[in-house]
Amino acid sequence: MTDYTRTLPLIAALLLVSACSSLPPATSTDSDWLMQGRIGLWMGDQQESSQIRWLQCGRDNSRIRLSGPMGVGGAEIISDRHGAELNYKGETRRAQNAEQLAAEIGWPVPVYALRYWLRGQAAPDSPLTAEVNPDGRLAHLEQLGWTLDFAHDANAREETLPKRVEARRQDVRLKLLISSWSQASEECTK
């Protein structure tokens, strides 16, 4: 074995550690925020799309509303520290977490991690591989079996929140087109 072939794995490991340690600083996901946009989901030959409105109030409380072609009245998942509730087609169901309920309506999406991903961050406490743009924003992420790519508004140098997030896992593809971000302190107190 040559010195080159022995050092190649070490160099690769150092690059991985370097990429992880240079992730953009996390903006607080415990704050109150509102994201609105469009979401598309492809699973094999099936495709669904919807408007999405995600209200996050602190760390534990969220209200995710999907409306549009995916069904009359859409779907709403409301989560708090005690569990989650799904309102879909006139029925209400409860579960321990939002992931279980999203799967019930045919959306196999890691909702907990998505909360971080849509803000251009890695989910905490999970192994990852990441690439950061020269301007310090997350460009590519591999985490929880998903591969994600992030696009930012080229004119908004100060803004770290992405305008588009694309995620893939096996034959599932998810695309989020974000039309607006806002603080939601008033909505969270209602």
Mind giving me the DSSP string for 89-157?
TTEEEEESSHHHHHHHTT----HHHHHHHTTT-PPTTS-EEEEE-TTS-EEEEEETTEEEEEE--TT-S
Backbone angles phi, psi at 15, to 5 degrees: -65, -40
- The span from the CA of 10 to the CA of 39, in Å, is 40
Q: Check residue 23 and give its pLDDT.
A: 59
Q: Which residues pair with 142 in a beta bridge?
A: 129, 147
- The span from the CA of 141 to the CA of 132, in Å, is 9
Global pTM value: 0.80
CA-CA-CA-CA torsion sign (130, 134, 137, 139): negative
Q: Check residue 186 and give its pLDDT.
A: 83
Mean per-residue pLDDT, 20-28: 51
Pairing of strands 61-68, 71-80: antiparallel
- The span from the CA of 151 to the CA of 21, in Å, is 21
Mean per-residue pLDDT, 128-135: 92
Q: Check residue 61 and give its pLDDT.
A: 94
- Domain boundaries defined on the chain: 34-188
- Fold of the CATH domain 34-188: outer membrane lipoprotein receptor (LolB), chain A (2.50.20)
SS3 168: strand
Instruction: For residue 135, give both structure tokens.
Output: 């301007």
SS3 17: helix
Pairing of strands 146-151, 138-143: antiparallel
Highest mean pLDDT (candidates 57-66, 85-94, 141-150) = 141-150
Q: Check residue 45 and give its pLDDT.
A: 87
**pLDDT surpasses 50 at 135:** yes
Q: Check residue 12 and give its pLDDT.
A: 36
* Banded model confidence at residue 72, pLDDT cuts 50, 70, 90: very low
